[in-house]
Structure 1
Amino acid sequence: MTTAQLARAVGYSTQQVRDLERLGVLPRADRAPNGYRRYLAHHAVALHAYRSMAAAIGPVPARTLMPELVGGTVEAAAERIDELHGALAQERMQVRDALRGLEVAVGESSDLFSEEDAMTISELAHALGVRASALRHWEREGLVHPARASLSTARSFGARAVTEARIVAALRSGGYGIPSIARVLEQVREQPVTADAQRILTERLAGLTRRSVALLAAAGHLHELLEMLGAEAAGAGEDG
């Protein structure tokens, strides 16, 4: 195939094909006597592998990783794919924990809470499994509002502050940044519902599933590519 033919076959532009070959995502193409690149079937497979990998981990990481995978062994590629699946599984577990934590946090917010039950920063940090410095950072960002008589007195986390901290901890464990969490807290403060927070986390789970499926596709294409390259190398050795 010519560059244009390969580009049409996989839905890329000719410039994208040239760039990906230059970056090592594609194996180097041979040149015809007229100087034009000649692409074979394994180049199309490599592009499909890259497209799926980009959907799974992002275009920039995929462009960095693909040359390593293309130039390596099946065993090394399998190990790297396992690591990526493991990272996605860990992230999925964190999001699910965040959903459960959010439900518990808002459910507990309606419980009777005596001011005598207020928690110190160290007690709350221990209960949430975070550092006290994290709670101080959340306070500076306006996410949690502990009671303090003055700057020199200790913080006291009452019912509202504990609920805020639980929600922040739940969403942070799901990978969300401060601006997104602030928007969720605004809704929770206005009305004790978690629809928006649950929607955000549920969409995150769906996105992780799409990435996992794309990684499965990338693994299949990559295995096919490495098998083709191995067969071609073996054939060249016999010819030699």
Structure 2
Amino acid sequence: MDGHNLQSGERLRPVDLAREHGLSTQAVRNYEEAGILPAAGRTPSGYRTYTPLHAAALRTFLALVPGHGHQTATSIMRAVNEGTDDEAFRQIDAGHAELLADRRTLQAVENALRDLEPTTSVETGALFIGTLAHELGIRPATLRKWERAGLVRPRRDPRTGYRVYDEADVRDARLAHQLRRGGYLLEQIAPLITQVRAAGGLEPLEAALEDWRGRLSARGRAMLRGAAELETYLRRRG
């Protein structure tokens, strides 16, 4: 779409909005039906017509998606277009709060990794599954699932048959718990823990943590870009 169309009062076609972002015209129509764009005008023959305001709405939505996700970005735009700006701001605030929580989780993982140093060998005693699950704030069934995935390897008490988690198992369970909170899948965590057991140090997790940190930073910047576009859209909307 050229700059003249954006700045003029001329009517824009669905294809004009679509071309700027490499979208199909059907996608533009779908966005309108979802409330992402304001309702379009119609020509006497029934064809949709858009304005520079619709173009700004589409740019804003696409800028919000990388930081907030498709569903939340849709909800934000729908709230703005319905005139409930406070609801849009609430959802944006929730996204920033979630990002902050993820940053705190990353910090917690990095703190937990200090326990992997070979020089720190504090005897913590053995724990049964219920006690360990309670300490982690998860269900015993989750620990059993992690065991099947190879994340923890508890021994069995020869008398009772109960699972017993030693110091290394508790460490592995705590790391698995933190990494799960960070969005890692079980199949991604298992090889990391296997390498940690073999290497006895922090090195195997360094790449994962660096990637995690990078994704958080990228999301934070994407939120800033989305906020800038939203502010422009709100000013244009009036």
Contact 1:120 1:154 in 2 (8 A): no
Alignment partner for residue 105 of structure 1, among 104, 107, 115?
115
Q: State how 1:1-240 maps to structure 2 within 5 Å.
A: 1-101=12-112, 103-107=113-117, 109-112=118-121, 117-121=124-128, 124=132, 129-131=136-138, 133=140, 134-150=142-158, 152-229=160-237, 231=238
User: Cα offset for 1:28?
Assistant: 1.0
Contact 1:48 1:218 in 2 (8 A): no
Could you tell me how far apart the structure 2 residues matched to 1:131 and 1:12 are? 43
The CA deviation string for residues 162-195 of structure 1, in whole angstroms up to 9 with x for no partner, is 3322322332232322211112112223322433
Could you tell me how far apart the structure 2 residues matched to 1:161 and 1:73 are? 50
Could you tell me how far apart the structure 2 residues matched to 1:228 and 1:93 are? 36
Task: Choose between structure 1 and 2 for higher RCO, CA contacts under 8 A separated by at least 6 residues.
Answer: 1
Contact 1:99 1:170 in 2 (8 A): no
Tell me: CA distance 1:166–1:77, structure 2 relative to 1, closer, same or farther (3 Å).
closer
Could you tell me how far apart the structure 1 residues matched to 2:145 and 2:58 are? 44
Could you tell me how far apart the structure 2 residues matched to 1:211 and 1:45 are? 22
Percentage of identical aligned residues: 31
Q: Output the amino acid matched with 1:37.
A: R
Structure-2-length-normalised TM-score: 0.80
Greater helix fraction, Structure 1 or Structure 2: 1
Contact 2:75 2:88 in 1 (8 A): no
Count of residues paired in the alignment: 225
Structure 1 vs Structure 2 CA RMSD: 2.7
Contact 1:105 1:167 in 2 (8 A): no
Contact 2:79 2:85 in 1 (8 A): no
Tell me: CA distance 1:219–1:151, structure 2 relative to 1, closer, same or farther (3 Å).
farther
User: Cα offset for 1:64?
Assistant: 4.4
User: Cα offset for 1:5?
Assistant: 1.5
Q: Output the amino acid matched with 1:15.
A: Q
